[in-house]
Structure 1
């Protein structure tokens, strides 16, 4: 039987990825290093034509921007203090990680290193439907008093689809592997993923999962991970998205599980609450600092 390239694993992909980096992928991605600088808060609205810039009340900013790390200027004393508030919490990967810790391991498959995770790869061909969403994460290394961006690390991001299902696990999409992907942090510690807005499923506040690895070569099995955590999504943005077609069940589910009773975020979420900008019509951008 002949083997397709996607059967050869990440080790097959790495030489191509290294070459692409040499030819300028880092330079292309570095344009995202200044994303999110000084975004002003706007009044919340569910109008699909209204742009929202959202930070939850009472929660210190977790996303790049403002005076915090990942903003438009060089990192100064104020941003050092904000990052030094603590490492992003270690959280469970949940029952559907796809990293080899509970069943399938998508990390070993050729094709998993990609920025657009809306489609499946390899033998699968499904496309996840939903409100377009960009996720930007900036990874920091908290090494004592020395706070630096963590370049050359790898981030594995995954989340449920518009129906609350997880690819590779949920019966309806067990043969798909979309909404899962790995990216290498650029010289500014940034990664970016193109995806769709996830559902609120029963028992959980709307969220995304991610793992951080020291290098891309390490991102082949969960045993090499440096940190596992989850990103929370602001309520006003969820309300706007869940008012659209396809997300109807999410309205009820989110009402039944507020942040204060969510099994992950109920003990605190200030470092995990993403900043959100955009609109239903134009899509949303979620940004988050990830100090580890």
Structure 2
């Protein structure tokens, strides 16, 4: 498939340049930045207990949960080298050929903190975009982020079982990548809903125009992707309030319709993460590196769809909107081909 060929080619490109002097310098700065962010967040929240690093082994999705892919504490101490704790795999890539779902909204604001008071586990998410041909950072990429809240509700749309309201904006926002290719967000760990594994949406834009009201227009869509989370991390999160009040059916990564698209031998959609304290409720620092083709434009891709647009007078559905409780991420109705009638949201 063209998706797999692209991923393999991108991995070879990244593998070939990841040991270059400039790439090593980028990695060193990344390690220092993540360590400093962790210290600042812990100090700000007055977290006294030691942080915990978790990791996983790379494998294809089909055997992720069958092998020892569970996140396990490594027992790091303050004497452990920061490079060991905060490094990342520069050969990780995300294929741009994954759906943005039926709940993508344009016109969101450029902002780092997207929580808007939503209850849940605080998560500081760092996404670093690298050129697959040079392993160097891609600057001035504008990154849209969106995910559901702790109980499975999306903002900005009106659909069967997902009436967040056209004018709501929680857990949505845009950040621009800096000289290290990094866009960072203050958000919460996403909840789940019927038909989809726990995930976060990302969509990046190049060559945009920044408007006076703090929004963006124009440009190209350089990457469409989704982040997924290990089952053990999800279980730990959903044992806490308010995730524990969510009565919707849980879908595992293995059963998800889109994680199979996103995770193959050559790319890995699972961020590295750190418990900022002893307990998950102290918050998470998560990070991932994404290799992109800087000349790509996914604007005409079948995976690119806009459900609504946020304007000065509020949110409005688009004529191509796939909300309304009928369409899933693949353009078909979820489940048995009928609109959900159990109060759950369609997959996105």
TM-score, reference length from structure 2: 0.55
The answer to whether the 8 A contact 1:165-1:173 is kept is: no
Give the aligned length: 218
Matches within 5 A, 1:29-48: 34-36=32-34
Residues 59 and 34 of structure 1: CA distance in aligned 2, closer, same or farther (over 3 Å): farther
Partner of 1:284: 284
TM-score (norm 1): 0.65
Which secondary structure does the structure 1 equivalent of 2:281 belong to?
A: coil
Contact 2:208–2:217 (Cα < 8 Å) also in 1:
no
Distance 1:268 1:113 in 2: 26
Tell me how far 1:252 sits from its aligned partner: 6.2
In structure 1, the residue matched to 2:269 is 272
Task: Confirm or deny: 8 A CA contact 1:91 1:228 kept in the other structure.
Answer: yes
Q: Which residue of 2 aligns with 1:182?
A: 174
2:209–2:217: 8 Å Cα contact kept in structure 1? no
What do the CA deviations read for 1:240-262 (whole angstroms, capped 9, x no partner)?
110011112558633xx221121
Could you tell me whether the CA contact under 8 Å between 2:94 and 2:225 is conserved in 1? Answer: no
Structure 2 unmatched ranges of 5 or more: 1-28, 36-48, 61-68, 70-81, 293-348
Deviation at 1:150, TM superposition (A): 0.3
The two structures, once aligned, show a CA RMSD in angstroms of: 3.2
Which residue matches 1:209? 201
Q: 2:193 touches 2:248 (CA, 8 Å); kept in 1?
A: no
Task: For 2:168 and 2:219, locate their aligned partners in 1 and report how far apart those are by CA, in whole Å.
Answer: 24
Partner secondary structure for residue 157 of structure 1:
strand
User: Relative to 1, partners in 2 of residues 1:198 and 1:91: Cα closer, same or farther, differing over 3 Å?
Assistant: same
- The alignment partner of 2:216 has SS state of coil
| Partner Cα separation in structure 2 for residue 226 and residue 276 of structure 1 | 25
Name the residue aligned to 1:152: 140
Distance 2:114 2:119 in 1: 11
Taking a change above 3 Å as real, the CA distance of residues 59 and 89 of structure 1, as seen in their structure-2 partners, is farther
Match of 1:113 in 2: 110
Please show how residues 109-258 of structure 1 align to structure 2 within 5 Å.
112-119=109-116, 127-143=117-133, 146-169=134-157, 170-217=162-209, 220=216, 224-248=220-244, 250=246, 253-254=249-250, 257-258=251-252
Of the candidates 76, 94, 101, which is equivalent to residue 101 of structure 2?
A: 94
- Structure 1: which 5+ runs fail to align? 1-30, 38-48, 73-78, 100-105, 120-126
Tell me, yes or no, if the aligned pair for 1:117 and 1:180 is still in contact at 8 Å. yes
**Could you tell me how far 1:35 is from its partner in structure 2?**
3.9
Find the residue that maps to 1:258 and give its secondary structure.
coil
> In terms of mean alpha carbon deviation, does 183-192 or 49-58 score higher?
49-58
What's the CA shift for 1:88?
Answer: 3.3
- Return the offset for 1:52: 4.4
1:221 Cα shift? 5.2
Tell me by how many angstroms 1:162 deviates.
Answer: 1.1
Distance 1:215 1:159 in 2: 24
Computing the radius of gyration over CA atoms, which structure comes out larger, 1 or 2? 2
SS at match of 2:249: helix
- Cα gap change, 1:156/1:149 in structure 2, threshold over 3 Å: closer, same or farther? same
User: C-alpha separation between the residues in 2 aligned to 1:239 and 1:213?
Assistant: 33
Q: CA deviation at 1:216?
A: 4.8
User: Residues 235, 52 of structure 1: CA spacing in aligned structure 2 closer, same or farther, 3 A cutoff?
Assistant: farther
- After the TM superposition, which residues 69-88 of structure 1 pair with which residues of structure 2 at under 5 Å, given as runs? 71=87, 82-83=91-92, 87-88=94-95
